[in-house]
A and B are shown apart, each in its own frame.
Chain A
Amino acid sequence: MPAAIAVVVGFVFGIIFLAGLLDMLLELWGEKPLGYVLPRWAKAFPLYSAGLVLVMGALLGHFFLHVPRP
């Protein structure tokens, strides 16, 4: 079981690290970073972005707050 938990932990940390790295590299290259481009996309497609936030929020709630009966 610990190895499987380690894979999940590595996956979560890895994804966020890669996204942050891409964000930083774009800024270093003088390009618009994700923090600039994604909100513009969200503004252009508010329903899509609201839906995405809803799905992500539901997943977070499910993964982190969905606890069994004591």
Chain B
Amino acid sequence: MLALALALWLALGAATIQTVLQVRDVTCFDDSRAPVWPAEWRYYAMAITCYLAFVAGRLTPGLRFYAREIRALRKTNPAAAAAREHVPGKAAIAAQAGLMLLFGLFTLALAYEALGLYQLDFGAGSLHPITTYTRCAIAMDPVRATFVAASISYLLGHWLWWR
């Protein structure tokens, strides 16, 4: 099921990139003087969708294969279940490497955002901050943009909401 979801995700990504490359007329904003509370209802709908996806991420780990396996083992052999719950070195290292990669990418993204803002505000270059591009994407296809934001929220709930 996860493999199917990944294949669909890849297909959606490829289709979105294709759409973006074919678009000729797109509304983009560089204006950073945004109101604190957006005027359009669709932004609230996006925020609510992201929040619901975050909660769904918290509620669904029980459906995963390993969780069902451990639950079944607990009923028949609690000692084996406890041993199965132990996190081996390879997984711990993979998780830590993943987290480090994530933090590294955040740092790169924020550094680029800062550079884009600097160049935009001081007219020092042609780069734009990431926010400008996401605004273009939202203007082009709000439903797909909401889906992407909700997917990120889902993963946050799935991985980082402790239990």
B20, A2: Cβ atoms closer than 8 Å: yes
List the 9 shortest-distance A-B pairs measured between CB atoms, nearest first. A13-B13, A43-B162, A42-B162, A37-B95, A68-B31, A38-B159, A32-B91, A8-B133, A68-B29
SS class, residues of chain B in contact with chain A: helix
| A interface residues, tally (CB under 8 Å) | 56
Instruction: Please count the residue pairs between chain A and chain B whose beta carbons lie under 8 angstroms apart in the complex.
Output: 180
Q: Which residue of chain A has the shortest Cβ distance to B50 in the bound complex? A: A60
Interface string of B34-49 (1 = CB under 8 A from A): 1100111001001100
| A17–B87 alpha-carbon span in the complex (Å) | 24
| B interface residues, tally (CB under 8 Å) | 71
Partner of B9, one of A17, A29, A40: A17
**Chain B residues, CB < 8 A from A5:** 20, 26, 133, 136-137, 140
SS class, residues of chain A in contact with chain B: helix
CB under 8 Å from chain B, chain A span 13-68:
13-17, 19-24, 26-27, 29, 31-43, 46, 49, 52-53, 55-57, 59-68
A38, B95: Cβ atoms closer than 8 Å: yes
The answer to whether the Cβ of B130 comes within 8 Å of any Cβ in the partner chain is: yes
B26, A9: Cβ atoms closer than 8 Å: no
| A7–B160 alpha-carbon span in the complex (Å) | 27
Known A-B contacts A26-B91, A32-B91; the reply to A17 vs B153 at CB < 8 A is: no
